[in-house]
Amino acid sequence: MEALLAITIGILVAAAVYLMLSGHMMRFIFGLVLISNAANLTIFTAGRLTPGAPPLIPLGFDGPAGDVANALPQALVLTAIVIGFGLFAFAVTLVWRAWVALGTIEADDMRIAEPKEDSQ
């Protein structure tokens, strides 16, 4: 399953990069959501997949009973999901604000910093 997931993650990343390169801010946001999902899955998968054994310590034990799932990547991914959400919320607001202020949703038309005359 890990190998299959690795291939799926590759496809997710490819789709995300393709969307982010579109120059359309809304599609960029879609790409951002996809790539952060792909990143979380990468960390999770790299820590190996263990079905049906969450990292818990049963009552009366000092450690987990038997082999349980790798707790470390889970903790990392949990943090990453939340931070990814913060980034996403800010990006969405920024896109919306850019649309209101500049009247365009395409990155290549947002050229206040680098007007076309200067590029030659």
Partner 1 sequence: MAAAAPTSRGHGLLGYGPTALALALFIWFLGFLPVVSAGQAASWAVPWIPVLGIDLAFRIDGLSLTFALLISGIGTLVLLYANSYLTGDPQFDRFVLFLTSFMLAMLGLVLADDLIVLFVFWELTTITSYLLIGYGHDSEKSRRNALQALFLTGAGALAFLAGAILLGEAAGTYRISEVLAQGKAIQDHPHFTAILILVFLGALTKSAQVPFHFWLPNAMAAPTPVSAFLHSATMVKAGVYLLARLHPAMSGGDLWLYTLTILGVVTAVFASLLALRQTDLKQALAYTTLMALGTLVMLLGQDSGYAMTAFATFLIVHSLYKAALFLVVGNLDAATGTRETDALGGLGRVLPMTALAAALAGMSMAGLPPFLGFIGKELTYAGMLQVASFPVILSIMALLANGLILAVASVVAIRPFWSARQPKTPVKNAIPWTMAAGPVVLAVLGTIFGIMPGLLQNTLVAPTVLSLTGDIAETKQLKLWAGVNLPLFLSLATFVLGGLFYAWHATLRARLAMLDRLPNLDEAWDRFMASIKTFAIALTSRIQTGRMTDYMAVTFSTIAIGLIATVLLRGLPPLSPSFADVTPIHLALIGLLLSGTFMATITRKRIAAIAALGVVGIGVALVFIFFSAPDVAITQLLVEVLVVVLVAIVMLQLPRLRDYPNRFRPGHAVIAAGVGGSVTLVLLAILSTPLDRRLTTFFETASWPEAFGRNIVNVILVDFRALDTFGEVAVVVVAAIASIALLRQNRKGRS
> 25-84: which residues touch partner 1 (CB under 8 A)?
26-27, 29-30, 33-34, 37-38, 40-42, 44-59, 61-64, 68-72, 74-75, 77-79, 81-84
Smallest gap, in angstroms, from Cβ of residue 102 to partner 1? 12
**In terms of Cα–Cα distance, which of 42, 47, 39, 43 is closest to 16?**
39
Is 102 one of the binding residues for partner 1 (CB under 8 A)? no
Smallest gap, in angstroms, from Cβ of residue 109 to partner 1? 10
Smallest gap, in angstroms, from Cβ of residue 80 to partner 1? 9
Residue 114 DSSP symbol: S
Is 3 one of the binding residues for partner 1 (CB under 8 A)? yes
User: Contact, 53 vs 66, CB < 8 A?
Assistant: yes
Smallest gap, in angstroms, from Cβ of residue 103 to partner 1? 10
Q: Which of 66-104 are b and which e, b meaning 16 or more Cβ less than 10 Å from the residue's Cβ?
A: eeebeeebeeebeebeeebeeeeeeeeeebeeeeeeeee
